[in-house]
């Protein structure tokens, strides 16, 4: 006996079936179980989005990663997106095979500050490089260390120029040390206690460097 769809009344072989319901009605039902709105956390300063726990550039693949957990256990593929909407391919493996639908969603942007922008906003720093010596070399050094911090997702904050040279404030002391080691430079180091976190003493490091 040909199947007849309990929802729309269409029957085989006029329409394809997916279990007890016709394909169209199965898709309708699947769509009705999916969210119409998803949220994206967007940094209001740099525009990065939160995907998988950390902030990343708002590319298609990162948006897909950010949306995925909100769609549930289904496999998704981002077809198209704007700032406020997206179109997704969503597929479910059923006992009758793969059921795929195109899902339009509204993107609700939650404007936040990413970790880095938050640190910049409060002038956070872990290390200071005290640069002394040739002013031209100091300027070149600051350019290079700024680039190095940028590509490693950290930042150079304030730069204080004074009659002796410049003091450069850096967001990450491990990276500051790595830069000095990488360039085989010799620094005179000092450590200032800046606080205690979870019972551990936190130091800010100062690296005095001579550039002749």
Per-residue interface string for the shown chain with Zn ion, residues 142-171, x marking contact by CB under 5 A: ------------------------------
| Helix, coil or strand: residue 185 | coil
Rounded Cα distance between 2 and 4, Å, is 7
Q: Minimal distance in Å, beta carbon 21 to Zn ion?
A: 5
| Among positions 34, 46, 159, 211, the unique one binding Zn ion when judged by CB under 5 A | 46
Q: Minimal distance in Å, beta carbon 19 to Zn ion?
A: 11
| Among positions 38, 40, 43, 131, the unique one binding Zn ion when judged by CB under 5 A | 43
- The residue length of the chain stands at 212
Nearer to Zn ion among residue 50 and residue 68 (C-beta)? 50
| Among positions 25, 63, 103, 168, the unique one binding Zn ion when judged by CB under 5 A | 25
Number of residues that bind Zn ion (CB under 5 A): 10
Rounded Cα distance between 146 and 128, Å, is 13
Using a 10 angstrom Cβ sphere, with 0-12 exposed, 13-18 middle and 19 or more buried, the burial of residue 145 is buried
Six-digit token string for 49: 């989005």
Contact flag: residue 22 with Zn ion (CB under 5 A)? yes
Using a 10 angstrom Cβ sphere, with 0-12 exposed, 13-18 middle and 19 or more buried, the burial of residue 34 is middle
Rounded Cα distance between 41 and 150, Å, is 22
Nearer to Zn ion among residue 43 and residue 127 (C-beta)? 43
Nearer to Zn ion among residue 6 and residue 35 (C-beta)? 6
Task: Estimate to the nearest angstrom the gap between the alpha carbon of 1 and the chain centroid.
Answer: 55
Q: Minimal distance in Å, beta carbon 139 to Zn ion?
A: 27
Per-residue interface string for the shown chain with Zn ion, residues 105-124, x marking contact by CB under 5 A: ---------x--x-------
Cα 22 to Cα 15, 33, 50, 166, distances in angstroms: 6, 17, 39, 73
Stretch that binds Zn ion, among 45-53, 139-147, 171-179, 202-210 (CB under 5 A): 45-53
Judged by the rule CB under 5 A, the positions of this chain that interact with Zn ion are 5, 7-8, 22, 25, 43, 45-46, 114, 117
């Amino acid at each position: 006996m040909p199947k007849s769809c309990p929802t729309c009344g269409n029957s085989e072989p006029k329409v394809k079936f997916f279990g007890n319901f016709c394909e169209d009605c199965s898709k309708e039902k699947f769509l009705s179980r999916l969210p119409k709105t998803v949220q994206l956390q967007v940094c209001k300063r740099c525009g990065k989005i939160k995907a998988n726990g950390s902030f990343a550039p708002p590319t298609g693949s990162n948006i897909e990663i950010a949306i995925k957990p909100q769609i549930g256990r289904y496999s998704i593929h981002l077809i198209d997106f704007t700032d406020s909407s997206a179109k997704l391919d969503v597929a479910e493996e059923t006992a009758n095979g793969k059921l795929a639908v195109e899902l339009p969603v509204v993107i609700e942007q939650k404007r936040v500050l990413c970790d880095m922008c938050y640190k910049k906003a409060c002038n956070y720093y872990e290390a200071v490089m005290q640069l002394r010596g040739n002013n031209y070399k100091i300027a070149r050094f600051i350019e290079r260390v700024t680039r190095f911090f940028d590509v490693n997702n950290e930042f150079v904050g304030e730069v204080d120029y004074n009659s002796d040279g410049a003091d450069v404030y850096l967001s990450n002391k491990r990276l500051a040390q790595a830069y000095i080691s990488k360039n085989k430079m010799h620094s005179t180091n000092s450590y200032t206690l800046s606080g205690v976190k979870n019972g551990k003493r936190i130091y800010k490091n100062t690296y005095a460097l001579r550039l002749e």
